[in-house]
Amino acid sequence: MIAVAGTATTVAAAAMGLSMYDRDTIHLSRISADAVAHISEKFLLMSKAERAALPYMHEGRVDVISSGMLVLHRVMLATGSKEFVASEHDILDGIAWSQVTKR
């Protein structure tokens, strides 16, 4: 499974224990479903201030990251995905690429 956007990349940063957000390290990293479950549980137990203090946490994601992680984990369970590949490329990249490659 390939996962894009902030939840997936934040989970990847947490799973790798990054001391800062590093898109090059995060891109194409493989994160197990077990890691997602563990990190989700950990984040649910954190206060908002604790999540905000994480060096890789985007300020706009602090309030929603825990629910996003739960959704990600449920999708992984529903699809039988044992891991996801985090991508720093998202739908905007796909839209731009489709416009460039139109004939």
Residue 75 falls in which region: left (phi positive, over 0), alpha (psi -120 to 50) or beta: alpha
Query: Regarding the domain delimited by 2-100, which CATH topology (the fold level of the hierarchy) does it fall under?
Result: Nucleotidyltransferase; domain 5 (3.30.420)
pLDDT per position as a tens digit, 36-78:
999 999 999 999 999 999 999 999 999 999 999 999 999 999 9
Percentage of the chain exceeding pLDDT 70:
90
CA-nearest of 10, 4, 71, 87 to 37 is 71
At 91 the pLDDT is 67
Q: What is the pLDDT of residue 93?
A: 59
pLDDT at 15 over 80: yes
Q: What is the mean pLDDT of the chain?
A: 91
